[in-house]
Structure 1
Amino acid sequence: MKHALLRIGAVGLASVVTALVLFGLGRLILVRDLGVALPSFSQPSPSPSSSPRPTVSPAVLSDIATPNPSPAAAPTPAASPTQTAAPTEAPIALTSFRFGGRSYVGIVVPEVGRTFAAPFAGTVEVLVYQFIDGEVRVGSNVPTLPFYPYVSVVAADRKITYRPGTLGSVTELLARDRTQVGAGDPLFRLVAPGRSSWATFYNSSAPYQVVVSLHGLPSGRDLDPTPYL
């Protein structure tokens, strides 16, 4: 019995070896002589592994750019209101003339409201005249007739006299008789259009609003008042 099993095993082993040899020879013949490609029984190669994700290191506070704050705009100073220049007075027109052997200067004033001031320090002298029956009178008091003031400033060595128009309606007195004034102090103001008393007393065609004379004291010699006007 044992010998029979050994024989059967030997026969089976020989059959397997013979089959393997025949298989190898047949494959060699097919590849070399006939050029037939046999299917490959190799195991498929594993798919490439997915590329590892890059490791992102946590941001460090010092590596983060800190934005520089833009400087605050300086406030623009408010524009100061434009200063309005004080209106300048229109120039007056001066005319020198002689009458009765004395020198005078006629003034044409282009606007109403002109104020005349003392050209030098002294004492104010105010005399009021009226024209009565063709005569110039001082100290009279006829209510129905206009009054005309003569305003003078008397210093130690000179006297200047202004002859404006009608008192009240044309001329407003700003200084009182026998008061002391300094240079630049107001004497009178022209409040309405009107000619000097000269047009009533001496020359009806005289266009002047004020007539001025200047005399030296105590000589009474005529001086030129133009530098004071």
Structure 2
Amino acid sequence: MARLLPAPAAESDKYRRGVVGIAAGSARYPGAAVLAVSGALRGGAGAVRYVGPAGDAVLARFPETLVSDAGPAKAGRVQAWVVGPGAGDDAATVAEVLEADVPVLLDADGLRLAERDAVRRRTAPTLMTPHAGEAAALLGVRREEVEDARLAAVRELAAVYRATVLLKGSTTLVAGPGGGPVRVNATGTPWLATAGSGDVLSGLAGSLLAAGLGAVDAGSAAAYLHGLAGRFAADGAPVGAHDVASRIPEAWRDVTD
């Protein structure tokens, strides 16, 4: 894991380190945008661009964010996109992001709104991050079927969508689209089962994509760091998603030191 995590060189600037775009949030769920940005800012990329209706909320919490009131195509150059957390029914933005020729992370409402063929025909990497309920909806089966056969489900999703799939749960599974070994991560804690935790994970993984990691490595590293940060934040007590995000640097240092 220490070898995977990006580290800036002496000649690095914020653009060389990578820029991640976050297309998330809605009038109903502005917090999802804030939490996705919180994960992205701590994920190794040099800058975070945000597009969506929650720009004021994002800037109030993270003034270093580059906020655009245009759509994703006009937001400026990015090396990866995160789309879907708290997006509501904004299918147009999801479709626009999927047309981008950079790695894309699909989460939450983005999973529901994305057309299967639009994901399958992408040439740049796609990373999908469903929980069991979302995976069941994508496969057209009952949630219990996914929970009873998680390994088979993550492999099937990766094959059907020709994408890397990170199946969230008490043990996170990461499967690539070409088959092969499935990575298993168990650094988490039951306290991570809290609203907004997945939004932080999406921002973190998207930032690692923008920093240059492949989809399988980005998903694996994000799951590992997110789980470790959750352990540090909880320490045996309830936590909120913002607590988890704030401990990502500590988890990063724990891995690389």
TM-score by length of 1: 0.26
More helix per residue:
2
More strand per residue:
1
Q: Which has the higher contact order (CA 8 A, sep 6+)?
A: 2
TM-score by length of 2: 0.24
